Structures are given as C-alpha cells and as structure tokens.
Structure 1
Amino acid sequence: MRILLLPLWICGFNSKAIDVLVKVLNKNSTLTSLKFSSNQYDYKGVETLLMALNKNTALNSLDLYNNMISTEVGKVLAMFLCKNTTLISLHLVKNILGSEGGKTLADALCKNTALTSLKLGWNNLGSEGGKSLAGALCKNTTLASLNLDLNYLGLEGRKAFADALCKNTTLTFLDLGWNNIGSEGGKALADALCKNTTLTSLNLDLNDLGSEGGNALADALCKNSTLTFLNLSDNNLGSEGGKALADALCKNNALISLNLSYYNLEPEGEKALANTLFKNTTLTSLNLLSNNINFKIKSNSKNIEILQ
C-alpha cells in the first residue's frame, strides 16, 4: 500500500515512538505529506525526525503546528532547510521560535531554493526576527507564500517588510495580521505596494491602521494593478479611510476581494462605499460585517457577494 499522507495529531509521541516512526520513514519512498501537529516532543525527538527526513526524497509538505518548537529546535530546522531540496511547504504556526529562531530560519531561506510556502504565525519573532526574515525575502527567489500573523514585529520589523516588498519579485501571498502595524507601518506598506508588481494577496487585519494608514493604502490601490485580495478587517479606518478606499475602488480594476469588517467604518465612509459599488465592476467579494450599517448596500454587478 502506497501512503502519501500521514496525519499524526495529538499522539503524545515519546522518544521510543519517534524511533519507530523514523524507521518507517527511512524505508518509505512514497510519503509526500507529514502532519505532526500538537505532539510537543523534545529537542532530540525533532533532531532524530529531521535526520530521517534528510534521507527522504519524496516528502514535500511538513506540518509541525503547535509543538513547542523552541529556538534550539529552530536551529535544527534551519540546518535541515539548508540541505533539503524537496520540501515546498513548511507549517510552523503556534510554536516558540522567538527572535533567534526567526534569525536562523531567515539565514536558511537565503540558501534554500525549494520552499514555496512558509507559515510562521504565533511565534513571537519580534522586531529582530522580523527584520531578518524581511532581509531573507530580498535574497530568496522561490518563496511565494509567507504567514507571519501575531509575531510582534515592531516598527523596525514592519518597515523592513515594506522595504523587502520593493525588492522581492516572487512573493504572492503575505499575512501580517495582528502585528500592531499602526498608521506609520501602513504608510510604509502602501509605498511598497506602489512599487511591488507580484503580490496578489495581503492580510493586514487587526493592525490599528487608523484613517492615515487607510488613506495611504487607498492611494496605493490607485496605482497598484496586481493585488486582488486585501483584508483590512478591524483597523478603525473611520469615515476618512472609508471615503478614500471608496474613491480608490472607482480607479482600481484589479482588486476582487476586500474585507472591511468589524467596526471599521463610520456613516460617511459607508455611504461613499455604497455609491462606489455602482461604478466598480471588478470586485466580487466585499465583507462589511459588524459595521452597524443601517441601510442595504447594493451593486450593479451580478457577480459580487456583499456581506453586511
């Protein structure tokens, strides 16, 4: 029997169980995806597992979600990525890599030429880890999708990613949600979007962008022609931000999905968006949930789904 996917969630693996798994992996030549989530194994266990995977030439997806992976284990992972040439997807969400772990993985990304998707959300990477990863994006030419939500990137980390987006030509999906980007970070990212020509999806939810950040991003949408998905949920954009985005939607013909949910807009911004929908012909999804809009928003387009 050919096994392609092996899901091992919450199995409570000890060292003996890891040894057994390693023996299986050493003999297997067909496994392409390993989900090893919420097992919270120790440093030696990870090292043993990754040594086995170094010999595996079929695996292309590895999920290590919620395993208490620390800085030390991050170093082992980094060494693995420097040697591995087949893994294209790595899921490390909800671990404890910290800034040092972020730095070592960033160094690995400068050398790795196979990975296309990396999820690092909820890892407390901090400003230093964020800056290192942003620097790696300036050199890496294969990564297409990067998840960094809830990592406390700090002002320097946020600006570093904005600079990286001006130089990177392969990233198409970036999640920077829950990073307290603020208006200054929003303006820096907006400047980057005026120059970037490859990013198609950007998540900036829960970042306290405010009206200034919203205005800057709206200006960027008037110039950017590649972004198709934008999530600005829960950012307190206010009436000014709402009106600016409404104006941008009259000019932008690339965006197809826009999320403005959760107490983002005030009455003037809501009315401006409502009027815009009679002019915009490209938007297919608009999320306005939890904005307390007291009138029905309609569009001339039959292809748009409006949530309010």
Structure 2
Amino acid sequence: MPLKNQQRIQTDTARNRDRTHTTTTATSKKTVSTSKQLVGGVVQPRPISGTTKISSATTSIIFGINPKQTNHSQPTKIITEVDDTNIDEVLTLTDVSLIPRSFLTEIQQDEVYATILEALRKKMPYQIPPKTPPRQEEDDEEEKPFSPHLLAIDDDDDDDISVDDEISSSSSSENNPIVSHEDYDTDIETESIVQNVHDPTGREQYRELCQQANIIPCSYFMAHIQDSEMTLRYHQFNTEDIRAITKTLYTNLNVEHLFLDGNYLQQQATKHITQLILTNDSITELSLADNRLGGDEGTKEICRLLTLNRNLKKINLSGNKFNELDIAQLIEAFEQNKILRKLDLSHNCFGEHCGKTLGAFISSNDSLESIDLSWNKFRGRSAIDLVNGIKENVRLKYCNLEMNGLGPDSGQILADCIKQNSALEEFNINGNRLNTSNAFAIAQALSSNDSLQVLKIANNQINCDGVLAVFLCVKANEANALREIDFSYTVVTQETVDVCKDIVKLKDGKFRYRIGKVTPPKLQPNSTSECYVKTNEELLNRLRSNAANVKPNVD
C-alpha cells in the first residue's frame, strides 16, 4: 500500500508540473511566510462540502491549463457531479452550462477556491462574470481580506501570510484580470451612454411613455413639439394619451399655446392637464373646448386648475355643458384667479339663474380683459343683470353676447352699457332679438361714446331706419373711435349707403361697414311693413340734421 500511494503521488506531481508552469513565475516573488503554504507551487485548499467532491490531490492542480495539452478535441457531455476523477474534463470544457450549478456557486462563495474560479474564468470570461475584489481598508491594523486573484490557503496557515505582498499584488493592474474593466461594463460607461442619447426635445421620453402604456405615439405631437403652438384638436385621445403628452411637456419651454379641443377628456385626464399647468410655467394659453367637462367631478377639477393657476392668461372652456349647477363653483374659482385675462364660456348651458351670479362677478373683476358668453340662454331679468355687470366693469375690453336672445327688454340697458362703459372696445350683440327702438337707443349712446371700436349688431329685428339712425349718429360724433360696424343681412336704403361712404371719407378710409341688400328707391321703405316696429320719424329727422352739419372734406 505505501508503494502504491507513493506512485500515485509521483504521477500527480508530474501532471501538475506541466499545468502550473504559468503560475510558478508569479508566485516566485512571494515571501518565505507565503511559500511554506505551497507544495510545488500549488495551493492546498480545503475539500469542498456537499455534492461536489474534490480530493486534495486533485484540487492542487487547478491553476491553469497548458495549451499544448488541450489541442485535441474533447467529447461534449453534461457533468452531473465534480470529483477528482473528472476535474480535468471540467477545466477543458468550453461551455459553463455543462458544469453543475452547485459547483460554481460553492467555488464563488468560498475564497479558498478562488484559483479554481479564476481558471474557469480565464477560459470562459463572458460566461462567468468577474468577482469584484474586496475594498481595501484604510486602517492597516484591521484584518484585510484577500483579493480573489490571490492564492487560496489552508486555515492552519492564515497567520503567516504577508499583508504587504497581498497589497502589492492586488494593486498591480497588469497582473490582476479582475480589476480590469475591459471584459464588462462599469457605472461610468453606463452614465456616458445615457448622456449621449439624451434628447432635449422630449421625443424619446414620449416614445418610452407610449411604449410603457402600450399606445401609439402621436406623430403630429412629435413633429411640432418645438413649436410655440401645439394644436391637438379632435384626436380622440384617451387618458393614457394625455398622460404621455403632459409628462413630456413638463420640462418643455417651447410650447406656449396648448389646444386640446374635442377629445372628450375624462376626469383623470383633466388631472394630468392640471398637473402640467402647475409644473410648466411656459404655457400661457389652454383650450379645452368641446370636451364635455361639465358635471360634478369634471367641474371640480376645472375649478382646481383655475384656483391653483399661476401662469395661464387665456382659457377656453366653451362647449363643456356647464349649467346652473356648476356656476357657483366656477365663479368661486374665477374670483380667486387674478392672472386670467381672457375667458371663453361660450356654447354652454347657462340660463336664467346664472345672469345675476355672472353679472356680479364681472362687475367686480379687475383682471379680465375679454369674456365670451355667446350661445348661452340668458333671458329676461337674467340678461339685464348680466349686462348691468358688464356696464360697471372698468377693465373689460372685449365682450361677446351673441345668440343669447336677450330680447327687446334688454335694449335700453345695452344702450346704457355702451354710453357709460369707457373701457369697452368691442361689443358683439348679434342675434339677440333687438328691434328698431333698441337700435335708436344704441344710436344715441354712440353719439357720446369715444372708446368703442367694433360694434356687431347683425341678425336682429331692426329695419332700415334703425340702421340709418346708427350710422347718422356715428357720422355726427367726430370723437368716436369706431372702425367697424356689422349690420350683415339687414336690408338698407340708398341713404344709408351714402352716409356710410361719408363716414369712410371722414375716417380716411379706416372704417368698414357691413350691410345687407339695398332697397330700390321706387319701393316703399320697409319701415311701413307690419313685421317691423314703426320708426320714430321725428327722432330720425333730428338725427339727419345733426349728421348733415358734418361734411367730409372734398378734394
């Protein structure tokens, strides 16, 4: 038996000498305290526990493989267990997947078998990730762990290892393959890649958000993302679409006007829009027309947007079916907002119970410059209260009351509004069932007004004499600032046309008028028709004489 053991040891020693010739040079510089742990330049590790069985004689050979001995092809087979009989096959494998998972896990966790792991990693660097070397402590007095590339040792000889040798070996970048970053990515490389693909326009961010939500990106949005005006009307966006768009615009400094009309937005989508307005200070105009936001939850979110707004100057809320139930909440939000300059509430369902509330708000507001209340349902007393509020406002420059059916009862209050309001520059009262008597009252108000520039009074029940009275008063008032009067579709006489031409000459061509067809002279004036209110001939003649005193210069 002793003879057989001696022969076996001699055979293993001869085999090891060929396979470890590359490491003997590196280990020759070790101190005496280190060299006494090596037997023929080979580490003597602890036996591996568990299912992986490697004898001490076998593990001593794992340092590298002589290339001359691996030229011949090895048969490919799956190894289920590693022991001293098949360790040579493990070291010659070209695929790490053929090695048992338990074997790899155990040699990675145990520092003693770092040489085994290093030998496999040299052969398969892309299949076995490198192990990060342990950080060196600043205090030399503390015990410093060995780097993975150092030779493994037995537990009995731990105290004999020289710390200086370990530090010098680990600090060498040429001989330490673990420290090298050539075979794997680092955090620094990752950061540089992110900086290179950074897109300041936001298009890449928008694509990623759409991909996460599994929606199709809007090509128009990406094409115009750097424009000052973003028009996204009637795209049928859902909540996820709005979320991706608003998150992309959080840091966008180009878009100033955002139009999202006709997308039938839900409450959650409106919340995303509110967050955008609170985050992005560049957007000064927002249009949410035709989205049917009226109702309990939608109205609350709009009120929240208006209350917290700090940069919006124009907002369009037309076509959202707001009604008497919503007006109280909206007015409360409007009163807290001192930034808004232009407000559009047209095409909603404000009726008789809304005039008083809106009128009180408009009369006390000193920030709004434009308000559009057209195509609502103001009638009777509600209409009078509303116009009274407009009359008392000292800041409003533009007011649109078109198609509200104010009625003849509101004619006189409209005239008073024109006469007393010195801030109003454009007044639209088209389609409000006004009659000839109302036209005469408005004409007399124009005689003393010097601020109104545009008056739209078409599509009313006014005959040709009412139209004539208005133009006669405009001609007689040389201090007026009117540059446009709209009497579209209203039949007039030739006398009215002549007066209009005189006004154009008086204003050096800076006056535009719109009228309907002209009645032939041989026909009776339509003032005698039963469908029109009879004209006050005495008043009309007085207006004629006043206008006759003002004659244009004849070249």
Q: Please tell me the TM-score bracket, short chain as reference.
A: 0.7 to 0.9
Aligned partners of 1:98 and 1:126 also within 8 Å:
no
Specify the alignment match of 1:307 in structure 2. 486
Cα distance in 2 for partners of 1:211, 1:131 equals 29
The 5 A counterparts of 1:222-237 are 222-237=391-406
Give the superposition deviation at 1:203.
0.8
Cα distance in 2 for partners of 1:82, 1:156 equals 33
Give the superposition deviation at 1:273.
1.5
Aligned partners of 2:433 and 2:461 also within 8 Å:
no
The 5 A counterparts of 1:200-211 are 200-211=369-380
CA separation of 1:213 and 1:79: change in aligned 2, threshold 3 A: farther
Cα distance in 2 for partners of 1:67, 1:232 equals 30
Aligned partners of 1:61 and 1:88 also within 8 Å:
yes
Specify the alignment match of 1:95 in structure 2. 263
Specify the alignment match of 2:383 in structure 1. 214
The 5 A counterparts of 1:176-255 are 176-255=345-424
Aligned partners of 1:190 and 1:216 also within 8 Å:
yes
CA separation of 1:49 and 1:229: change in aligned 2, threshold 3 A: closer
Aligned partners of 1:150 and 1:179 also within 8 Å:
yes
Deviation readout 1:20-51 (Å, 9 max, x if unpaired): xxxxxx8796x9xxxxxxxxxx972247987x
Aligned partners of 2:436 and 2:461 also within 8 Å:
no
Cα distance in 2 for partners of 1:43, 1:246 equals 58
After TM superposition, the score normalised by the length of structure 1 is 0.77
CA separation of 1:247 and 1:198: change in aligned 2, threshold 3 A: same
Cα distance in 2 for partners of 1:153, 1:240 equals 26
Structure 1 SS opposite 2:343: strand
Q: Which amino acid aligns with 1:306?
A: I
CA separation of 1:82 and 1:146: change in aligned 2, threshold 3 A: same
Aligned partners of 1:166 and 1:195 also within 8 Å:
no
2:245 paired residue among 51, 74, 77: 77
Give the superposition deviation at 1:83.
4.5
Q: Which amino acid aligns with 2:285?
A: S
CA separation of 1:102 and 1:185: change in aligned 2, threshold 3 A: farther
Cα distance in 2 for partners of 1:131, 1:242 equals 36
Deviates more, 1:264-273 or 1:184-193: 264-273
Q: How many residues align?
A: 268
Aligned partners of 2:320 and 2:348 also within 8 Å:
yes
Aligned partners of 1:88 and 1:116 also within 8 Å:
yes
Structure 1 SS opposite 2:298: helix
Give the superposition deviation at 1:62.
1.5
**Residue 45 in 1 paired to residue 238 in 2?**
no
Give the superposition deviation at 1:184.
2.2
Aligned partners of 2:323 and 2:351 also within 8 Å:
no
Structure 1 SS opposite 2:403: coil
Specify the alignment match of 1:35 in structure 2. none
Specify the alignment match of 1:277 in structure 2. 446
Deviation readout 1:169-196 (Å, 9 max, x if unpaired): 1111111110011132232222111222
Specify the alignment match of 1:105 in structure 2. 273
More helix by share: 2
Structure 2 SS opposite 1:271: helix
Cα distance in 2 for partners of 1:278, 1:48 equals 55
CA separation of 1:166 and 1:65: change in aligned 2, threshold 3 A: same
| 4+ residue runs over 4 A deviation | 26-29, 47-50
Give the superposition deviation at 1:81.
4.4
Structure 2 SS opposite 1:97: coil
Q: Which runs of 5+ in 2 are unaligned?
A: 1-197, 204-212, 488-555
Aligned partners of 1:131 and 1:156 also within 8 Å:
no
Specify the alignment match of 2:42 in structure 1. none
More strand by share: 1
Q: Which amino acid aligns with 2:404?
A: N
Aligned partners of 1:159 and 1:189 also within 8 Å:
no
Aligned partners of 1:43 and 1:73 also within 8 Å:
no
Structure 2 SS opposite 1:230: strand
CA separation of 1:70 and 1:268: change in aligned 2, threshold 3 A: farther
CA separation of 1:242 and 1:68: change in aligned 2, threshold 3 A: same
Deviates more, 1:103-112 or 1:183-192: 103-112
Cα distance in 2 for partners of 1:126, 1:169 equals 23
Aligned partners of 1:100 and 1:129 also within 8 Å:
no
Cα distance in 2 for partners of 1:43, 1:115 equals 28
Give the superposition deviation at 1:166.
1.5
Aligned partners of 1:99 and 1:124 also within 8 Å:
no
Specify the alignment match of 1:61 in structure 2. 229
Structure 2 SS opposite 1:44: coil
Cα distance in 2 for partners of 1:284, 1:77 equals 40
Give the superposition deviation at 1:208.
0.8
Structure 2 SS opposite 1:202: strand
Aligned residues with identical type, % of pairs: 26
Structure 2 SS opposite 1:90: strand
1:159 paired residue among 309, 328, 337: 328
1:259 paired residue among 404, 425, 428: 428
- RMSD of aligned residue pairs (Cα, Å): 2.8
CA separation of 1:80 and 1:189: change in aligned 2, threshold 3 A: farther
CA separation of 1:48 and 1:259: change in aligned 2, threshold 3 A: closer
Q: Which amino acid aligns with 1:232?
A: L
Q: Which amino acid aligns with 2:238?
A: S
CA separation of 1:201 and 1:110: change in aligned 2, threshold 3 A: same
CA separation of 1:260 and 1:64: change in aligned 2, threshold 3 A: same
Cα distance in 1 for partners of 2:380, 2:442 equals 15
Structure 1 SS opposite 2:282: coil
Give the superposition deviation at 1:225.
1.0
Specify the alignment match of 1:138 in structure 2. 307
CA separation of 1:162 and 1:267: change in aligned 2, threshold 3 A: farther
Q: Which amino acid aligns with 1:218?
A: V
1:170 paired residue among 339, 345, 357: 339
